[in-house]
């Protein structure tokens, strides 16, 4: 018989004379003559309760079953006399699919710390919290596609291996087919013998490729893994993370801000709607102010503030002396500044725009003042920077000048520059850190706890 998922059984319209449930035992309690089991199959947060009468055969199986075991239970779905659930299973058969030794199975009934669960990342999806997290993560991915699809934007698969550095921050992982021995050879020799015959890296952003497609298909987005070898061991940075990057032709910086704000609100709304039960867990046990925070984001328009005014505000505010880093014109905003602006001052998301040209990459559009570029960052409470984007420099001469000023090789960007040679057009885009969005939606404060298997400096388990 085909198994019935636990979510389907719990939401059944009527009793079922026959069904099979397959899942993992969360708890087992034995009474005289019968046993209670709580079974979870990952289809939803809730377990289904099973009551099963003892027969000699059933008792023999039950003896080998403890928390963590995989089982199959056949029986009927009946109204539950107990509180807290409408339906339960009256079992009449039980089969042990996979034994779990109760002596060594690490997930016991008590609450475990996030640190401990990180050390068993392969088993943590079997807990309530991480089951909920990864169901939400899946739903949020779908929501990203839904949002852009409804707008008629096309999904582009941009390459993971690349020969160009989009952000110019030198935080790239090298890709090579050479062995350790070859690394002793001269650079020229290595490049000659290496797979691509040139330097190659894991991408830090799909933007440059996405721009080519925006200038052909109108509106596109890429959504894939990106890699950064920044050695910052923070709760917000991972070496491998997913980024959502829309790129839109005939759109300026304001259109870009509108799109970012609309997308953030859409994604929150979608998840609140589709994952209500799972979100409730986080609102109850992880962050008591989660719901008001999310509703506040949904119901207010984001503050929009030029960088110059943000610096002024930060250097004059009461808290300015308490910042670890000074907020000064010409320096990037630090997380503490970003959080102050959105969390304490405006108490809602803030879009800071028009950053000094010196601190931004070559592709951002130079403003008429020639001192700032059309960049925008969306800062949100508790996370800081969630989105980074810009209007792109569409003027060939200005772009070439910027590439030269930054000491980059124009030949490396010949194909990128071609797009400005042939039918160039104003266009804009941004990147949203998918994990940071997930942190915001769940109130979880460490990026390691929203990725199935996190990759951070000196940490590559699993």
Residues in contact with Mg ion by the rule CB under 5 A: 388
Backbone angles phi, psi at 28, to 5 degrees: -135, 130
Q: Tell me how crowded residue 24 is: count the other CB atoms within 10 A of its CB.
A: 20
Please count the residues of this chain forming the interface with ligand 4AD, following the rule CB under 6 A.
24
Q: Which does 167 bind (CB under 5 to 8 A by kind): ligand 4AD, Mg ion, none?
A: ligand 4AD
Is residue 5 within 8 Å of residue 23, measured between CB atoms?
no
Q: How many residues does the chain have?
A: 462
Spatial separation of the C-alpha atoms in residues 77 and 455, rounded to whole Å: 43
Shortest Å distance, C-beta 460 to ligand 4AD: 15
In the set 348, 436, 440, 448, which binds ligand 4AD (CB under 6 A)?
436
Stretch near ligand 4AD under the rule CB under 6 A, chosen from 31-39, 386-394, 418-426, 452-460? 386-394
**Residue 283: HSE in the Cβ half-sphere, 13 Å Cα cutoff:** 14
Spatial separation of the C-alpha atoms in residues 130 and 449, rounded to whole Å: 8
Specify the DSSP element, H or E, that contains 27.
strand 16-30
Q: Which does 205 bind (CB under 5 to 8 A by kind): Mg ion, ligand 4AD, none?
A: ligand 4AD
Residues of this chain, 215-234, that bind ligand 4AD according to CB under 6 A: 228, 230
Angle CA(396)–CA(397)–CA(403) in degrees, nearest 5?
Answer: 85
Confirm or reject binding of residue 385 to ligand 4AD (CB under 6 A).
Answer: yes
Confirm or reject binding of residue 386 to ligand 4AD (CB under 6 A).
Answer: yes
Nearer to ligand 4AD, 429 or 443 (CB): 429
Shortest Å distance, C-beta 424 to ligand 4AD: 18
Shortest Å distance, C-beta 359 to ligand 4AD: 12
Shortest Å distance, C-beta 76 to ligand 4AD: 48
Is residue 311 within 8 Å of residue 329, measured between CB atoms?
yes
- Beta bridge partners, 14, equal none
In the set 130, 134, 241, 282, which binds ligand 4AD (CB under 6 A)?
241
Tokens of 108: 């016991």
Q: Which does 431 bind (CB under 5 to 8 A by kind): Mg ion, ligand 4AD, none?
A: ligand 4AD
- Output the residue with the shortest Cβ distance to Mg ion: 388
Is residue 243 within 8 Å of residue 213, measured between CB atoms?
no
Specify the DSSP element, H or E, that contains 417.
helix 414-421
Contacts of 12 (CB under 8 A, 6+ apart): 77, 87
Nearer to ligand 4AD, 39 or 364 (CB): 364
Spatial separation of the C-alpha atoms in residues 350 and 338, rounded to whole Å: 9
Q: Which does 393 bind (CB under 5 to 8 A by kind): Mg ion, ligand 4AD, none?
A: none
Q: Which among 146, 234, 247 is positioned nearest to 205, based on CA atoms?
A: 247
In the set 91, 219, 389, 426, which binds ligand 4AD (CB under 6 A)?
389
Confirm or reject binding of residue 443 to ligand 4AD (CB under 6 A).
Answer: no
Confirm or reject binding of residue 129 to ligand 4AD (CB under 6 A).
Answer: no
Confirm or reject binding of residue 429 to ligand 4AD (CB under 6 A).
Answer: yes
Q: Which among 269, 214, 303, 325 is positioned nearest to 437, based on CA atoms?
A: 269
Nearer to ligand 4AD, 357 or 432 (CB): 432
Q: Which does 263 bind (CB under 5 to 8 A by kind): ligand 4AD, Mg ion, none?
A: none
Nearer to Mg ion, 282 or 362 (CB): 362
Query: Measured over all CA atoms, what is the biggest interatomic distance in the chain, rounded to whole angstroms?
Result: 86
Confirm or reject binding of residue 337 to ligand 4AD (CB under 6 A).
Answer: no
What DSSP letter does each residue of 303-335 carry, written as one string?
EEEEHHHHHHHHHHSGGGGG-SS---TTSPPPH
Binding site for ligand 4AD (CB under 6 A): 166-167, 205, 207, 228, 230, 237-238, 241, 243, 245, 385-389, 429-433, 435-436, 447
């Amino acid at each position: 018989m085909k198994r019935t998922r636990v979510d389907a059984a719990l939401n059944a319209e009527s009793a079922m004379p026959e069904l099979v449930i397959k899942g993992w035992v969360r708890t087992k309690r034995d009474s005289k003559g019968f046993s209670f089991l709580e079974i979870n199959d990952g289809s939803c947060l809730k377990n289904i309760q099973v009551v099963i009468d003892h027969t000699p055969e059933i008792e023999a199986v039950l003896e080998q079953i403890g928390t963590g075991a995989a089982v199959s239970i056949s029986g009927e779905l009946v109204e539950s006399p107990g509180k807290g659930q409408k339906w339960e299973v009256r079992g009449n058969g039980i089969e042990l699919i996979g034994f779990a030794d109760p002596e060594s199975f690490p997930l016991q009934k008590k609450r475990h710390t996030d640190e401990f669960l990180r050390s068993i990342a392969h088993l943590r999806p079997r807990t309530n919290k991480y089951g909920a997290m990864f169901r939400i993560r899946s739903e949020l991915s779908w929501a990203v596609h839904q949002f852009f699809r409804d707008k008629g934007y096309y999904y582009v698969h941009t390459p993971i291996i690349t020969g160009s550095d989009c952000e110019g921050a030198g935080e790239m992982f090298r890709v090579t087919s050479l062995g350790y021995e070859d690394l002793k050879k001269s650079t020229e020799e290595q490049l000659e013998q290496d797979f691509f015959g040139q330097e190659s890296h894991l991408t830090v952003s799909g933007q440059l490729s996405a721009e080519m497609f925006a200038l052909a298909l109108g509106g596109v987005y890429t959504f894939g893994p990106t890699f950064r070898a920044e050695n910052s061991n923070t709760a917000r940075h991972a070496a491998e993370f997913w980024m959502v990057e829309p790129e839109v032709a005939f759109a300026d910086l304001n259109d870009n801000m509108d799109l970012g704000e609309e997308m953030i609100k859409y994604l929150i709304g979608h998840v609140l709607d589709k994952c209500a039960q799972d979100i409730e867990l986080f609102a109850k046990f992880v962050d008591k102010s989660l719901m008001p925070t999310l509703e506040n984001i949904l119901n207010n328009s984001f503050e929009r503030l030029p960088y110059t005014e943000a610096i002024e505000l930060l250097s004059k505010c009461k808290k300015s002396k308490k910042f670890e880093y000074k907020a000064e014109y010409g320096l990037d905003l630090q997380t503490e500044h970003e959080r102050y602006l959105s969390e304490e001052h405006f108490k809602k998301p803030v879009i800071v725009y028009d950053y000094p040209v010196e601190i931004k990459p070559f592709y951002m559009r130079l403003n008429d003042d020639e001192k700032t570029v059309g960049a925008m960052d969306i800062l949100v409470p508790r996370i800081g920077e969630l989105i980074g984007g810009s209007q792109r420099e569409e003027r060939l001469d200005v772009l070439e000048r910027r590439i030269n000023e930054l000491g980059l090789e124009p030949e490396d960007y010949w194909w990128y520059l071609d797009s400005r040679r042939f039918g160039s057009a104003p266009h804009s885009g941004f990147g949203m850190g998918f994990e940071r969005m997930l942190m915001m939606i769940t109130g979880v404060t460490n990026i390691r706890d929203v990725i199935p298997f996190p990759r951070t400096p000196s940490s590559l388990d699993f």
